[in-house]
C-alpha cells in the first residue's frame, strides 16, 4: 500500500487545489492513512441490490461503518449479520424500527427502499431522532420532499440525499472549472440518461412504488447534472413523451421523455430520460471558452471525460465509499461537498420532475 504522500502525488494539481468548501481528504477514503476521529454509525433500511453495493463500498470507509439493518426479510438479516458482524440488538423490521430511538449504536439510517416508501420511512426515522440519508428520488413529488425536509428540520436531524456524483472526483473537477469560469459564459447542456429495463413486474414499473418511470429513476441524473454542470436553477421546462410499449409502461409510468430547460443566464439544456435504450449515460457542457464531455457520466464508474484542456485524469474511487466518508465529514465537521446534497437540494429536483410531468400532460411550457 502506498503512503498518503504517494497517493497525493498521483492526483493532478487541479484536484489538490479545490476550494476550501470541499475538503479533498474525501478523496483519501481509500488510502491507508490512519484516522482516529468519530465514526458515523449507519443502519441501512431495505437490503436490496443498491444496499448491497453501498454496504460493500462502506467496507473501505474510514469515517462511516455499517452497524445496523432494517429489513422485512428475516433471512436477509441473518445473512447481513453474518457478513458484517452486526449485533442482533441493531437489527429491526418495518414494524419495530421506531425503537431505533433508544439505540446509541446508530447515528443515521440510510433509506434504500422503493421511491414510494421514502417519505413515510424518512419521517419515522427523523421522529426517532436519527439523521437520514435517503436515496434518490427523495420521494415521488415535491410536496413529499418538502414534508420530509420540514419534519427533519423540526426533529433537528440532517436529511441528505444519496447524490453520490457530488463527491465523484472528475465531476468535482468539472464543477470546480465551471466555478472558476474556465468554460466562459455557459450556453448549453445536454444530458442523456437511460438504460433498457428488464422484468416488467419489478417495483420500478409500478406507479405506486416508483412514483413514475424512467424520469424518477434515471432521468433525475440529467436534471441534477444540468443544475450542477451549469450552476443555475431552471426557470422553465418543456417536455415530450414517447411510449413504444404501453403494456410494460402503464399509465403514469414513463418510458421515454425528452425535455428542455431554460436558465436565467439564457443557457438551455436538452435532455433525454429513458427505460428503452442502452448505452445512454452522457453529459455535454458547452461554454464560450470551452467544453466538458463525460461518458459515462453518472454510472458507477470509472467516469470518463475530457474538457477543452484535455482528458480528465482524477482517480476513480468507489463512489459510495467517497459519499459515505464525505457525508460523515459533513455530519461531524460541517464540511459541505462542492454542490449541496441536502433535502432542499432534493426538493429542487422533485419540483423540476413535477414540472416535466405537467409539461408532458399539457403540451405547454411550464414556468418554475
Ligand atoms: P431493489 O429492488 O434491489 O431493493 C429494494 C429493497 O427494498 C428490497 O430489499 C426490498 O425487499 C425492499 N422493500 C421494502 N419494502 C418493499 C416493498 N413494499 N416493495 C418492494 N420492495 C420493498 O432496489 P434498488 O435498486 O436497491 O433501489 C432502491 C432505491 O435506491 C431506489 O430509490 C433507487 O432509486 C435507489 N438507487 C440509487 C442508486 C444510486 O446510484 N444512487 C442506484 C440504484 C438504486
pLDDT in tens, 262-313: 999 999 999 999 999 999 999 999 999 999 999 999 999 999 999 999 999 9
Atom 30 of ligand 1, nearest CA residue: 112
pLDDT in tens, 26-68: 554 445 578 999 999 999 999 999 999 999 999 999 999 999 9
- Cβ atoms of 19 and 323 closer than 8 Å: no
pLDDT in tens, 80-124: 999 999 999 999 999 999 999 999 999 999 999 999 999 999 999
Q: How many CB atoms lie within 10 A of CB 63?
A: 22
Report which of residues 2 and 363 the model is more confident about: 363
* Strand-by-strand arrangement of the 186-194 sheet: 310-311, 305-307, 291-294, 280-287, 186-194, 268-274, 256-262, 236-242, 366-367
Calculate mean pLDDT across residues 339-362.
Answer: 98
Q: Is 212 in the pocket of ligand 1 (CB under 6 A)?
A: no
Q: How many CB atoms lie within 10 A of CB 231?
A: 15
Q: Please, which pLDDT band fits residue 5 given cuts at 50, 70 and 90?
A: very low
What percentage of the chain has pLDDT greater than the value 70?
A: 91
311 φ/ψ angles, rounded to the nearest 5 degrees:
-70, 145
355 Cα to the center of ligand 1, angstroms: 25
In this structure, the strands spanning 64-70 and 40-45 are parallel
Q: How many CB atoms lie within 10 A of CB 324?
A: 31
Atom 43 of ligand 1, nearest CA residue: 50
Atom 2 of ligand 1, nearest CA residue: 48
**Catalytic residue ranges:** 136, 221
pLDDT in tens, 131-154: 999 999 999 999 999 999 999 999
Contacts of 194 (CB under 8 A, 6+ apart): 214, 218, 219, 256, 272, 273, 274, 275, 276, 277, 278, 280, 281
Calculate mean pLDDT across residues 232-246.
Answer: 98
Amino acid at each position: 500500500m502506498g503512503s498518503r504522500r504517494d497517493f497525493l502525488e498521483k492526483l493532478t494539481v487541479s484536484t489538490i487545489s479545490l476550494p476550501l468548501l470541499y475538503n479533498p481528504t474525501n478523496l483519501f477514503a481509500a488510502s491507508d492513512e490512519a484516522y482516529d476521529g468519530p465514526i458515523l454509525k449507519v443502519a441501512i433500511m431495505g437490503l436490496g441490490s443498491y444496499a448491497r453495493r453501498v454496504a460493500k463500498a462502506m467496507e473501505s470507509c474510514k469515517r462511516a461503518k455499517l452497524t445496523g439493518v432494517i429489513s422485512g426479510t428475516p433471512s436477509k438479516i441473518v445473512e447481513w449479520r453474518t457478513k458484517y458482524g452486526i449485533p442482533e440488538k441493531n437489527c429491526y423490521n418495518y414494524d419495530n424500527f421506531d425503537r431505533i430511538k433508544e439505540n446509541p449504536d446508530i447515528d443515521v439510517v440510510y433509506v434504500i427502499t422503493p421511491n414510494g416508501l421514502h417519505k413515510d420511512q424518512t419521517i419515522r426515522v427523523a421522529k426517532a431522532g436519527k439523521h437520514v440519508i435517503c436515496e434518490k428520488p427523495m420521494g415521488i413529488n415535491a410536496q413529499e420532499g418538502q414534508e420530509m425536509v420540514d419534519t427533519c428540520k423540526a426533529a433537528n436531524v440532517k436529511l441528505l440525499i444519496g447524490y453520490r456524483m457530488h463527491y465523484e472526483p472528475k465531476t468535482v473537477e468539472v464543477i470546480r472549472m465551471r466555478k472558476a469560469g474556465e468554460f466562459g459564459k455557459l450556453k448549453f447542456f445536454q444530458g442523456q440518461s437511460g438504460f433498457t429495463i428488464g422484468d416488467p413486474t419489478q417495483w420500478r414499473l409500478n406507479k405506486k412504488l416508483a412514483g413514475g418511470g424512467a424520469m424518477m429513476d434515471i432521468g433525475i441524473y440529467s436534471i441534477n447534472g444540468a443544475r450542477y454542470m451549469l450552476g443555475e436553477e431552471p426557470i422553465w421546462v418543456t417536455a415530450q413523451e414517447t411510449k413504444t410499449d404501453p403494456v410494460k409502461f402503464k399509465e403514469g409510468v414513463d418510458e421515454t421523455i425528452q425535455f428542455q430547460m431554460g436558465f436565467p443566464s439564457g443557457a438551455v439544456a436538452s435532455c433525454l430520460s429513458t427505460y428503452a435504450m442502452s448505452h445512454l449515460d452522457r453529459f455535454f457542457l458547452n461554454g464560450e471558452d470551452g467544453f466538458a464531455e463525460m461518458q459515462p457520466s453518472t454510472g458507477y464508474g470509472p467516469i470518463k471525460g475530457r474538457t477543452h484542456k484535455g482528458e480528465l485524469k482524477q482517480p476513480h474511487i468507489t463512489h459510495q465509499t467517497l459519499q459515505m466518508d464525505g457525508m460523515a465529514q459533513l455530519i461531524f465537521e460541517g464540511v459541505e461537498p462542492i454542490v449541496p446534497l441536502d433535502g432542499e437540494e432534493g426538493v429542487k429536483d422533485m419540483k423540476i420532475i413535477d414540472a416535466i410531468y405537467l409539461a408532458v400532460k399539457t403540451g405547454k411550457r411550464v414556468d418554475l
